[in-house]
Amino acid sequence: MAEVDIRKLNTWFKDNHVLKDLSLTIKENAVTAVMGPSGCGKTTLIRAINRMNEIISGSRTTGEVYINGINIYDENTNVYELRRKVGMVFQRPNPFPKSVFENVAFGPKIHKMANGKEIDKIVERSLKEAALWEEIKDRLNDSAFSLSGGQQQRLCIARALAVEPEVVLMDEPCSALDPTATTKIEALIREIGEKYTVIIVTHNLQQAARVSDFTAFLYVGKLVEYGDTKSVFENPKSELTEKYITGEFG
Amino acid sequence: MASVTKERVLFVIFGVPMVTCLLVFFWIVFVLSTGIGTLRWDLLTTSVLQGGIFEMIIGTVYLLLGAAGIAGPVGVLAAVYLVEYAPRGKFTRIIDQAINNLAGVPSIVIGLFGYTFFCRQLGLGISLAAGWLTLTLMMLPIVIRGTEEAIKLVPASFKEAALALGTTKWKATSSMTISSAAPGIITSIMLGVARVAGETAAILFTSCVLVTRGLPKSPFEPVMALAYNLFVKIVALGESPDEVFGIALVLFFIVAFFATAAISLRIHYRRRQPWLR
Amino acid sequence: MSRIIDVGLEELTAMLHRMGELTYDAISVSINGCLHNTNVYTRVHEMSDMLVSMADDVEDKVFELIARFQPVASDLRTIKSYMKIAYDFARYGRYALDISYINERLGGLKECEEWILKYIDEMSEKVLSMVRTSIYSLRSHNTELAKTVSKTEQEVDEMYFEFLDRLIEKAHIASKCTISSVLIIRYLERIADHAAYICESVIYLATGQKIILR
């Protein structure tokens, strides 16, 4: 559980100025949705929080992001430890080409968090947290690809939770899933939102409304509005927000 | 032209070359099979000094294993560098072009280079080691290209997910990309071996002699090889092609073995790579 | 660009406009029947029943829009308000019915003194104007117009209490007139209240603010 304080964040990809002077404070232990039309920078924003933008060549970031009071863009930051504390779930489920068990155990092994029997416990805990344990506890050694799409995504969530993060980033986690799987994952997101700081990017307005406690609306790289979800969806302060959520554009 | 007729015409146009290839293949097998008569089990296991071809077979195998042992790791690491780490720029493009060029160098030229550099310059003399290094030069483009392709086929999502969990770039690459590409890598090494198994010109002056006393005891000794012997027997010693067909057949089988093994491996491992479908 | 929910919203708006017209008729017919002693009970009864049924239809339509289109922001406030306003319109109809029932049952105001008739006439003028204000401000989403109802509502309140005081003072026995007039004034005051509710809903619909006009 950590508060994420974003201050004057700017990101360029080569000459493209994607995030413009963005400042935002994400509340801890809550689910915050980031919404906006395509190309508004929402994925770039969350990838700035675990510094995954740096992997893309030609990217440049200025500004500060404080997690629990520490600026993660400081030059002394251990990026690998940062990525343990800030987990990520991607749009398409991307389990490793290994067994279910190995997928979840991968993170803790890399970070030397435990060994032997301890790893078994961590795997069980994580799979339970991701509401997947009951379904696959007898299939831990099966290939991850033998699971359904929704199960694979829950596996990816378990994998991220296994390393005991403080923040969990989700980039449109349900967009590749069918409605039943989506419903399960949305319920799961609300549950883990009580223990972790969850930031979810979604282009599905109803999902943002259902799943989040707070909502941020981005437009062409700028923060247009940010508030508790009920107020944003019932009585938005900005006309641009109003137009977007009532479907007049986007 | 009506499209049905057009389809039929195209079918014939594409079918003829394929049938021709098959016919040629079977003709080669037929011709070689006339040499079956000269093959006997004891021929394969008896030393050359007693009329067999044992040392030739083992010599070829030594050459191939050693070359694979060098070209494999070097090629894989080079490919990993080119795909994962090399910055996009002029330098990388030059390296790329150099690899392509290396693939096109005639084997006799490589053999000459090998002789001049490995045998004379580095003082290895006519030896197994020099043969290994020369054959490696021929195998490298195949291994590098094959490995590059295998790596590129591995979905980037694995590596991305590993990085997002906090692994270093090398750990992500080695645990995800390389291990997933392993079947493709092994296949390309085997194809490289199949390519150089029958190489005569490269080993002509770098590693082979007509007869050795027993098997070489160190890599710095020369070796006997099937291809070399085939060449020398026909050209230099004027033996009749019928007598050496047995040797040719053994060589043919060795190459066919590696090629078939490569393809079987690839088919077998496809099952474990559902992302390729 | 028209959105998929717009068709539903237009239907809903049309339903409310029809209700507005009908309810105004019901009230004015009922009050006039009272003042001029004509028997309008059956007619007003029909109108009131229709208003109740229309309010049910509005409620159904609102829930259909919610289930199908998940409206948010101004759309959501609009249909939330429409549902309340439809209920208020149906209440108008109910009070109109009650007023005409007085006429029917108790014989109305024909035995009343002049001053009572004048009072009821004046108050019903004010109340009818409030009803008109509520209907027009809804039609045009006019918040300024909606706010004007506040002043009249106060006046109606004052007149209500004034009348009760004077009645207590002047009439010492409960007669048909006394009872009728007290009930009618009471219903008029309630209609005025609902007019204020409707105007508050109009302001909420347009601005998202919850203001009290009473």
Residue B238 has pLDDT above 80, yes or no: no
Alpha carbon separation from B120 to B206, B208, B211, B219, B228 (Å, rounded): 10, 15, 21, 16, 20
Residue B253 has pLDDT above 90, yes or no: no
Residues B158 and B111 in one domain: yes
What is d(CA A186, CA A110) in angstroms, rounded to the nearest whole number?
29
What is the mean pLDDT of the segment spanning A147-165?
95
CB contact (8 A) between residue B165 and residue A57: no
What is the mean pLDDT of the segment spanning A131-158?
94
DSSP-derived 3-state class of residue B198: coil
- Check residue B252 and give its pLDDT: 81
C71/A contact by beta carbon, under 8 A: yes
What is d(CA B71, CA B144) in angstroms, rounded to the nearest whole number?
9
pLDDT band at B39 (very low <50, low <70, confident <90, very high): low
Q: Per-residue pLDDT tens for B176-194?
A: 888 888 888 988 999 899 8
Note the helical H segments in C72-213.
73-106, 114-140, 143-147, 149-170, 176-207
Residues B150 and B183 in one domain: yes
What is d(CA A202, CA A18) in angstroms, rounded to the nearest whole number?
18
Q: Per-residue pLDDT tens for A165-201?
A: 999 999 999 999 999 999 999 999 999 999 999 999 9
Of A81, A88, A95, Cβ closest to residue B164: A88
C76/A contact by beta carbon, under 8 A: yes
HSE-up of A228 (CA within 13 Å, CB side)?
Answer: 2
Q: How far is A37 from chain C (nearest CA, A)?
A: 17
C72 vs A contacts (CB less than 8 Å)? 205, 209, 233-234, 245-246
HSE-up of B174 (CA within 13 Å, CB side)?
Answer: 7
Q: How many separate domains does chain B show?
A: 2
More confident residue, C39 or A49: A49
What is the mean pLDDT of the segment spanning B33-49?
69
HEC letters along chain A: CCCEEEEEEEEEECCEEEEEEEEEEECCCCEEEEECCCCCCHHHHHHHHCCCHHHCCCEEEEEEEEECCEECCCCCCCHHHHHHHEEEECCCCCCCCCEHHHHHHHHHHHCCCCCCHHHHHHHHHHHHHCCCHHHHCCCCCCEHHHCCHHHHHHHHHHHHHCCCCCEEEEECCCCCCCHHHHHHHHHHHHHHCCCCEEEEECCCHHHHHHHCCEEEEEECCEEEEEEEHHHHHHCCCCHHHHHHHCCCCC
What's the N-to-C CA distance of chain A in angstroms? Answer: 33
Of A50, A84, A90, Cβ closest to residue B161: A90
A81/B contact by beta carbon, under 8 A: yes
Residues B5 and B111 in one domain: no
B68/A contact by beta carbon, under 8 A: no
pLDDT band at B38 (very low <50, low <70, confident <90, very high): low
A82/B contact by beta carbon, under 8 A: yes
HSE-up of B176 (CA within 13 Å, CB side)?
Answer: 28
∠ Cα B83 B86 B88 (to 5°)? 100
Residue B243 has pLDDT above 70, yes or no: no
Burial status of residue B277 (CB atoms within 10 A of its CB: 0-12, 13-18, 19 or more): exposed
CB contact (8 A) between residue C5 and residue A247: yes
pLDDT band at A82 (very low <50, low <70, confident <90, very high): very high
- Check residue B35 and give its pLDDT: 65
What is d(CA A240, CA A217) in angstroms, rounded to the nearest whole number?
9
- The CATH number of residue B135's host domain is 1.10.3720.10
CB contact (8 A) between residue B160 and residue A84: no
A80 vs B contacts (CB less than 8 Å)? 166-168
- Neighbouring chains of C at 3+ CB pairs under 8 Å are A
Q: Per-residue pLDDT tens for B193-229?
A: 988 888 888 888 888 877 777 777 777 888 888 888 8
CB contact (8 A) between residue A236 and residue C73: yes
CB interface of B with A, residues 189-228, below 8 Å: none
Residues B162 and B30 in one domain: no
Pairing of strands A214-219, A222-228: antiparallel
- Check residue A250 and give its pLDDT: 62
**Cα A191 vs. chain centroid, distance in angstroms?**
14
pLDDT band at C202 (very low <50, low <70, confident <90, very high): very high
Question: Position C24: which residue type?
Answer: Y
Residues B16 and B84 in one domain: no
A242 vs C contacts (CB less than 8 Å)? 73-74
Q: How far is A249 from chain C (nearest CA, A)?
A: 8
Of C70, C74, C208, Cβ closest to residue A206: C70
Name the percent of chain B in helix, strand, coil, to the closest 5.
Answer: 80, 0, 20
What is d(CA B175, CA C111) in angstroms, rounded to the nearest whole number?
101
Lowest mean pLDDT among A28-32, A246-250, B114-118, C140-144: A246-250
pLDDT band at A230 (very low <50, low <70, confident <90, very high): very high
Residues B71 and B191 in one domain: yes
DSSP state of B86: P
- Check residue A145 and give its pLDDT: 92
What is the mean pLDDT of the segment spanning B120-149?
90
Domain membership of residue B19 as a residue range: 1-38
- Check residue C174 and give its pLDDT: 74
- Check residue B62 and give its pLDDT: 87
What is d(CA C120, CA C160) in angstroms, rounded to the nearest whole number?
10
Residues B2 and B52 in one domain: no
Residues B154 and B87 in one domain: yes
Q: Rounded mean pLDDT of chain B?
A: 85
Closest CA to A158 of A203, A114, A207, A191: A191
Phi, psi dihedral angles at A166 (to 5 degrees) = -105, -30
What is d(CA A153, CA A200) in angstroms, rounded to the nearest whole number?
14
Residue in chain B lying closest to A109 (CA) = B167
Enumerate the β-bridge partners of residue A227: A215
Residue C200 has pLDDT above 90, yes or no: yes
Residues B140 and B123 in one domain: yes
CB contact (8 A) between residue B158 and residue A97: yes
Residue C106 has pLDDT above 90, yes or no: no
What is d(CA B214, CA B13) in angstroms, rounded to the nearest whole number?
54
What is the mean pLDDT of the segment spanning A60-68?
94
Are residues B66 and B219 in contact, defined by beta-carbon separation less than 8 angstroms?
yes
Residues B51 and B120 in one domain: yes
Residue C1 has pLDDT above 70, yes or no: no
Q: How far is C196 from chain A (nearest CA, A)?
A: 22
Say how many CB pairs under 8 Å bridge A and C.
34
What is d(CA B68, CA B66) in angstroms, rounded to the nearest whole number?
5
Lowest mean pLDDT among B219-223, C99-103, C114-118, C128-132: B219-223
Binding-site residues on chain A for chain C (CB distance < 8 A): 205-206, 209, 233-236, 241-242, 245-249
HSE-up of A244 (CA within 13 Å, CB side)?
Answer: 25
pLDDT band at B266 (very low <50, low <70, confident <90, very high): confident
Of C1, C71, C74, Cβ closest to residue A242: C74
Are residues C185 and C121 in contact, defined by beta-carbon separation less than 8 angstroms?
no
C75/A contact by beta carbon, under 8 A: yes
CB contact (8 A) between residue A205 and residue C72: yes
Are residues A229 and A208 in contact, defined by beta-carbon separation less than 8 angstroms?
yes
Residues B17 and B60 in one domain: no
Q: Of the spans A220-229, B9-18, C2-11, C68-77, which averages the highest pLDDT?
A: A220-229
- Check residue B178 and give its pLDDT: 87
Q: How far is B200 from chain A (nearest CA, A)?
A: 42
What's the N-to-C CA distance of chain B in angstroms? Answer: 36
Centre a 10 Å sphere on the Cβ of residue A249 and count the other Cβ atoms it contains. Answer: 10
Enumerate the β-bridge partners of residue A197: A167
Residues B34 and B48 in one domain: no
CB contact (8 A) between residue C1 and residue A206: no
Are residues A48 and A223 in contact, defined by beta-carbon separation less than 8 angstroms?
no
What is d(CA C149, CA C89) in angstroms, rounded to the nearest whole number?
16
**CB-based touch C/A (3+ pairs, under 8 A):** yes
- Neighbouring chains of B at 3+ CB pairs under 8 Å are A
What is d(CA B190, CA C83) in angstroms, rounded to the nearest whole number?
76
Q: Rounded mean pLDDT of chain A?
A: 93
pLDDT band at C28 (very low <50, low <70, confident <90, very high): very high
**CB-based touch C/B (3+ pairs, under 8 A):** no
CB contact (8 A) between residue A247 and residue C3: yes
Are residues A132 and A110 in contact, defined by beta-carbon separation less than 8 angstroms?
no
Are residues A32 and A225 in contact, defined by beta-carbon separation less than 8 angstroms?
no
pLDDT band at A11 (very low <50, low <70, confident <90, very high): very high
What is d(CA C29, CA C37) in angstroms, rounded to the nearest whole number?
11
Residue B277 has pLDDT above 60, yes or no: no
Residue in chain C lying closest to A234 (CA) = C73
Percent of chain A's residues with pLDDT above 70: 99
- Give ipTM to 2 decimals: 0.92
